[in-house]
C-alpha cells in the first residue's frame, strides 16, 4: 500500500456549514471518507489531517518525510501568503499536490495568487471534492512514474 497524506488548512473544519454556495454542502469528514475510499482503489492508504495553525501544518509536512509518498495539501487561506508552508513543501523530498475546492481564479483578486504552488508538483482547483479525487489520480501517476511502471 502507498501512503498518502492529505492536509486540510484553516477553516476547512467548518466545511458543509459555512458559505455552502462556494464550498458545497459536504462536511470535511464526508470528503475524507470519499478520499480514503477512492485511495484504496489506487492501492493507497490515505491519512487525513486538518489544522488551523500554520506552524502545525509546517511540522506535519516535515514529519511526512520518510512517512508518506505523496502529500495532497489544500492550504486554504494560507495559499495566498504562507511562504513558511511553501518552504516546508520545498524542504522535504515528498512530492506535494496543491488542491482547492473552488476555482480560485474565478473569485476575488486576492485569491488568484498562490505563493505555495511553485513548491508543488502541480495544482488542481475548482472541482469540489472532485479536486481531491483528481489529485489521487495525479498521485497515482506520480507514483507510477517514480516506480517506472507507467506506460502511455
DSSP per-residue codes, 81-120: T-HHHHHHHHHSSS-EEEEESS-GGGS-GGGS--SSGGGS
Is residue 28 a contact residue for a copy of itself (CB under 8 A)?
no
Which one from 2, 100, 112, 132 is the annotated catalytic residue?
A: 100
Q: Among 2, 3, 11, 47, which residue sits at the site for a copy of itself (rule: CB under 8 A)?
A: 11
Query: Is 100 one of the catalytic residues?
Result: yes
Is residue 13 a contact residue for a copy of itself (CB under 8 A)?
yes
Where is 44: in which H helix or E strand? strand 44-50
**x-or-dash string of contact with a copy of itself, 60-79, rule CB under 8 A:** --x-------------xxx-
Question: How far apart (Å, rounded) are the C-alpha atoms in residues 104 and 45?
Answer: 28
Is residue 48 a contact residue for a copy of itself (CB under 8 A)?
no
Contacts of 135 (CB under 8 A, 6+ apart): 72, 97, 99, 124
Is residue 40 a contact residue for a copy of itself (CB under 8 A)?
no
Catalytic residues, by residue number, are 23, 100
Amino acid at each position: 500500500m502507498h501512503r498518502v497524506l492529505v492536509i486540510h488548512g484553516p477553516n476547512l473544519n467548518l466545511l458543509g456549514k459555512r458559505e455552502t454556495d462556494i464550498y458545497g454542502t459536504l462536511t470535511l469528514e464526508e470528503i475524507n471518507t470519499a478520499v480514503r475510499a477512492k485511495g484504496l482503489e489506487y492501492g493507497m492508504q490515505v491519512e487525513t489531517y486538518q489544522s488551523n495553525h500554520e506552524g502545525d501544518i509546517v511540522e506535519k509536512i516535515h514529519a511526512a518525510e520518510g512517512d508518506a509518498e505523496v502529500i495532497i495539501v489544500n492550504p486554504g487561506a494560507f495559499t495566498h501568503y504562507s511562504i513558511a508552508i511553501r518552504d516546508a513543501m520545498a524542504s522535504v523530498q515528498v512530492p506535494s499536490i496543491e488542491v482547492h475546492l473552488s476555482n480560485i481564479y474565478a473569485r476575488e483578486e486576492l485569491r488568484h495568487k498562490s505563493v505555495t504552488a511553485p513548491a508543488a508538483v502541480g495544482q488542481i482547483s475548482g472541482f469540489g471534492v472532485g479536486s481531491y479525487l483528481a489529485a489521487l489520480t495525479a498521485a497515482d501517476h506520480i507514483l507510477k512514474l517514480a516506480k517506472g511502471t507507467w506506460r502511455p
